[in-house]
Structure 1
Amino acid sequence: MEGNTHLPKIQMSVLSPVEEKQAMLAAIIASTDDAIISKTLDGIITSWNPAAIKMFGYTEEEAIGKHISLVIPNDRIDEENFIISQIKAGVKVEHFETVRVAKDGEFLFLSLTVSPILDGDGKVIGASKIARDISERKRALVKQAMLASIVAASDDAIISKTLQGIITSWNPAAERLFGFKEEQAIGKHISLIIPDDRLDEETYIIGEVSRGIKVDHFQTIRKTKDGKLVPLSLTVSPVIDESGNIIGASKIARDISAEQASQQETARLYEHLKVLNAKKDDFIALASHELKTPLSSMSAYLQLLARLETDAKNKTFVDKLQSQLTKLSSLVDDLLDVSKIEAGKMHFAKEDFDLREVVEEAIDLIVHSNPGYSVTFECLSSKCAIIGDSHRIEQVIVNLLTNAIRYSPDGNSLKVYLVEEDDQIKVGVEDYGIGIAQEKLQNIFSRYYRVDEGNGKVSGLGIGLYICHEIVRRHNGKIWAESKLGEGSTFWFTLPR
């Protein structure tokens, strides 16, 4: 007590018994952790111990002589009237839980015990108040109530148990999931809901929890009261007491029956889709092969007719027929390529060839079949040696040039670039046509995707760029497009050297 300046120095040997008793009471009041305050029946503070200073922030000089409303919130003044009325009647007020306010404005949860102060004649002349700060307990109770509300409202079963597996709590969702009422489950061993062939899982889980390790998303099977087996995902956490000791486990169990059923249905539909897709590819391959023979015959007859026909008007009709037949043959060839790609049967030759020569041949072919177009070719190298399938690479270039013309209805010129870089060669085809919206660029190499479905003037099945992409990919290259709507597009692809 020597270190406390608020404690009176007591010399017991020179005090009378009454004085000694008063000194002892003064020492207790000065050293207690509870605020002890006395006041008149009019509410005027007459004493204010060190704990009151610490609790409310007012010094003894600031408090004594002031009305007790100094520490009472405005909305709780009526409480003081009630307490004083009880004290005047000689009635002690015990464990009265309320809120008071400190000097800095902080609200404190307190438990008050207020007793009457009697004079020598037994008349009530004031009140002695003991105030205990229960803020921490109140906050803990609020937190506990919130957690209890969350547990009660949860759709997941939440169960706690001892390290020996004895169930200590069982929320409403656990009742719904397992069929056991709270009173039927609490006190029972957790094996109540564990199938016999999975009891070893509990040993493993308790072993992990006992070492302070949380078990996350443990998928297993548990059984209900009526014997039904339910697939669950468990998360089990250690329960730790105030001393840091692990005293049990808290388990959250989520029913994943619907999720598993959905996964199984998805897998079933995927397998079904694979079968349908295989049948579709088989049909396309068969139909394409069957179409090739009559198309070849028609082409031969039209070529013969073109040579024999002398009438200019009729010859024009024959030329148009030949042009449409060429388009139809090209579509059939594309369908055949798609079926080969999907079946993994598109074969590629590996040979040395000059990419510049292949590009020039593709340009010649396009210019010959589209006499109104001019194609500018920019290349600084006289020869670009590369390894791959020259026929398939030419197919890519022809397809890009054809698309450039198709989507440039008002244009009459294209540019082709051939650029040698350190470890690759880059080819580009630039047009000045309608362009492609940015949000559609990511889809243009998808199978059967068309940039403008509603544009009836542009024919096609949406497979040309898909085939280009697959050919370039199989050559370990990359293909992409750069475009601005209304300004044109440039398609690039690279091939490793």
Structure 2
Amino acid sequence: MRPLNELETPNDAAQYARSLIEASPDPLVTISPHGKITDVNLATEQATGKSRSELIGTDFSDYFTEPDKARAGYQQVLREGRVSNYPLTLRHVSASVMDVLYNASVYRDEKGEVVGVFAAARDITERKRAEEKIRYLAAIVESSDDAITGKDLEGVITSWNKGAEKMYGYSASEMIGQSMSLLILPQHLDELSNILQTIRDAQHVDHFETTRQRKDGSLISVSLSISPISDASGTIIGAATVARDITERVRAQQALQQYREHLEELVQERTAQLESANKELEGFAYSVSHDLRVPLRAIDGFSQQVLKRYADKLDDEGRRYLNVVRDNTKKMSQLIDDILAFSRMGRLGMSCADIDMQAMAHAVFEELSPNLADRELSINIQALPLCHGDPSMLHQVWVNLLGNAIKFSRNKTPAQIEVQGHIEGAEAIYSIQDNGAGFDMQYADKLFGVFQRLHGVAEFEGTGIGLAIVKRIITRHGGRVWAQGTVDVGATFYFSLPIQEKKS
């Protein structure tokens, strides 16, 4: 590039200067002492949306959003000879704007008289946007209740917001330049070195829960989220930490855990008490049943002897009385057997195996069939899902449920029993349906209780314990029992068993 003073003619110099002006990416203008534009470069045309011919001769202040401020800046140049970084906003004909910093100086003629002003505008729109974004982010940081801090890779604090002042009790002036270890308990100091190494490895720390110490010595539970900070070249130079106070949440969790532990202790205590009471009850039931059997056997035995030895001395009414006594001793004996069976079902160990429920249902019906010689009864046992359970216990379930279906349908001709089963979700569900006496659904919740009967003894014999035994067995297997019925139409009893997962 040739110096201006080496150019051969004034015209050469003018063309050279013009080339320099046009090559500038910044808007450049020359202005007369009266504020009129005398020349512009291409960048000015682009910034205003007007051509050079349109701009020359117009007042330069017309192209700013604040004309008075522009004129004041121009007057300052005339007074002081120059102005630097004067902020203005340039307006385009499309109504868009450009934030600029103006730098201007006067130029003089050979006599030293001011003949105009040379001004250059530097576009700072992007810089202002960046500054506004920084101010916005800074406002968020300062208004946050979370402690937002910065530190270098040695753990020295570089920034400290108001949330941090409130949370930890230290002011920014107290903490900036101090080590983050000031907040960390001695037994947790390894956390800082681990976190800094994570940051050096360009990794983030998300929701790390720990304890920090306030200025007054009190402890605070915090959740830390930490991210690396990089410089313009991408080199990691520090870390930004957001700490949230979770003290109340931690206290609530601790209180909840203590409450759970207390509940578990209560449950264990109550369970132990219940097990003890059950053992006492089982012992009592066994003892009472044993003690009751002795006089029952005596009553039955002596009644039988009276009938054998003194039958000829008794009239028909006397013999009937003795038979009534014997029948009731048998009923009492059956009741004692049922009570013992119910008690045993709650304490017997279970020996489980895979069971063909259809085969078991057929086998039980065959066991009950000898008493059905004079009955017109049909039974349909459909394909039933296999199950896993205690065979002897589930055999008792079928005995009780099929026995009930047979018993309560004896007044129907023909009596019909339908046995079905299917898989539903994680359960195998079985049903036994009859067309017998049925029951009123408003009493359905009483069916499976001990000594609960919906029919009189004179109508249908029984002790009222059979369904309670069924419920206890099925419950021990993790299943459910329920029933549906209609008076004089029939009843359907259901029980479910969990499906055993097959091991691969």
Same fold by TM (over 0.5)? yes
- Contact 1:401/1:429 (<8 A) preserved: no
Q: CA–CA distance in 2 between the matches of 1:44 and 1:333?
A: 114
Q: CA–CA distance in 2 between the matches of 1:43 and 1:417?
A: 105
Measured on the aligned residues, the alpha-carbon RMSD in Å equals 5.9
Q: CA–CA distance in 1 between the matches of 2:417 and 2:235?
A: 78
Q: CA–CA distance in 1 between the matches of 2:37 and 2:432?
A: 93
Name the structure 2 match of 1:32: 24
Matched, 1:184 2:174: yes
Change (3 A) 1:206 1:96: same
The within-5 A match list for 1:97-496 is 97-102=87-92, 106-113=96-103, 130-291=120-281, 337=346, 347-351=349-353, 353-359=355-361, 377-380=380-383, 388-393=389-394, 416-418=419-421, 426-429=428-431, 458-459=445-446, 468=474, 471=477, 493=497, 494-495=499-500
Name the structure 1 match of 2:462: none
Counterpart secondary structure, 1:168: strand
Matched, 1:15 2:21: no
Q: CA–CA distance in 2 between the matches of 1:172 and 1:349?
A: 68
- CA-CA distance at 1:25 after TM superposition: 3.9
Change (3 A) 1:23 1:385: closer
- Contact 2:387/2:428 (<8 A) preserved: no
Counterpart secondary structure, 2:145: coil
Q: CA–CA distance in 2 between the matches of 1:205 and 1:149?
A: 27
- CA-CA distance at 1:276 after TM superposition: 0.9
Name the structure 1 match of 2:408: none
Q: Which amino acid aligns with 1:153?
A: S
Change (3 A) 1:470 1:99: farther
Structure 1 range deviating more: 211-220 or 111-120: 111-120
Counterpart secondary structure, 1:108: strand
Q: CA–CA distance in 2 between the matches of 1:42 and 1:416?
A: 112
Q: How many residue pairs get matched?
A: 416
Counterpart secondary structure, 2:445: coil
Change (3 A) 1:86 1:96: closer
**Any gaps of 5 or more consecutive residues in structure 2?**
304-316, 372-376, 406-414, 435-440, 450-467, 483-491
- Contact 1:110/1:135 (<8 A) preserved: yes
- Contact 2:165/2:172 (<8 A) preserved: yes
Q: CA–CA distance in 2 between the matches of 1:93 and 1:465?
A: 99
Q: CA–CA distance in 2 between the matches of 1:45 and 1:468?
A: 102
Q: CA–CA distance in 1 between the matches of 2:149 and 2:185?
A: 17
Q: Which amino acid aligns with 2:431?
A: V
- CA-CA distance at 1:183 after TM superposition: 1.0
Change (3 A) 1:212 1:128: same
Matched, 1:51 2:38: no
Q: CA–CA distance in 1 between the matches of 2:240 and 2:233?
A: 18
Q: Which amino acid aligns with 1:356?
A: Q
- Over residues 187-240 of structure 1, what are the superposed CA-to-partner deviations in whole Å (9 max), with x where a residue is unaligned? 223333334444443333323322322233444443333334444433332211
Q: CA–CA distance in 2 between the matches of 1:130 and 1:235?
A: 47
- CA-CA distance at 1:151 after TM superposition: 1.7
- Over residues 313-343 of structure 1, what are the superposed CA-to-partner deviations in whole Å (9 max), with x where a residue is unaligned? x99xx9xx99xx99x9799869x85xx7xxx
Change (3 A) 1:376 1:492: farther
Q: Which amino acid aligns with 2:41?
A: N
- Contact 2:207/2:225 (<8 A) preserved: yes
Q: Which amino acid aligns with 2:360?
A: V
Change (3 A) 1:392 1:30: farther
With the length of structure 1 as denominator, give the TM-score of the two structures: 0.61
Structure 1 range deviating more: 352-361 or 86-95: 86-95
Change (3 A) 1:62 1:467: farther
| Structure exhibiting the larger radius of gyration computed from Cα positions | 2
- Identical-pair percentage: 27
Change (3 A) 1:385 1:215: closer
Q: Which amino acid aligns with 2:43?
A: A
With the length of structure 2 as denominator, give the TM-score of the two structures: 0.60
Q: CA–CA distance in 2 between the matches of 1:56 and 1:401?
A: 100
Q: CA–CA distance in 2 between the matches of 1:60 and 1:333?
A: 110
Counterpart secondary structure, 1:254: strand
Q: CA–CA distance in 2 between the matches of 1:139 and 1:96?
A: 18
- Over residues 377-415 of structure 1, what are the superposed CA-to-partner deviations in whole Å (9 max), with x where a residue is unaligned? 55248xx8776412444577799999x9xxxxxxx9996
- Contact 1:87/1:115 (<8 A) preserved: no
Name the structure 1 match of 2:67: 80
- CA-CA distance at 1:242 after TM superposition: 0.9
Q: CA–CA distance in 1 between the matches of 2:481 and 2:56?
A: 85
**Any gaps of 5 or more consecutive residues in structure 1?**
2-9, 341-345, 369-373, 405-411, 433-451, 474-478, 482-487
Q: CA–CA distance in 2 between the matches of 1:45 and 1:71?
A: 11
Q: Which amino acid aligns with 1:29?
A: I
Counterpart secondary structure, 1:356: helix
